[in-house]
Amino acid sequence: MSTIATLQKGEIGYISEESLDFIPLKLLEMGCLPGAEVQLVQIAPLKDPLYICVNGSHLAIRKETASQIKILKVSL
């Protein structure tokens, strides 16, 4: 299964139910809930942090955290 850290710029995925235990409370409060749409907007020059869009909200998260959040990728 993929994680947010494995997304390519512009790709969209949906947060998996399996990730609920690994998502920090602060991110849950900001809308990073299972089933939420996640799009990778930009990657910092040193590959950390990642800039994502979750249900219309833009967030910057560390790559370490992003690699723990499993997603389901959308095929276009």
pTM of the model: 0.85
76 exposure class (CB count in 10 Å sphere: 0-12, 13-18, 19+) = exposed
End-to-end CA distance of the chain: 18
Condensed to tens digits (0 to 9), the pLDDT of residues 24-75 reads 999 898 889 999 999 999 999 998 899 999 988 999 999 999 999 999 987 6
The pLDDT assigned to 3 comes to 93
Q: Which domains does the chain have, with CATH numbers?
A: 2-73 (2.30.30.90)
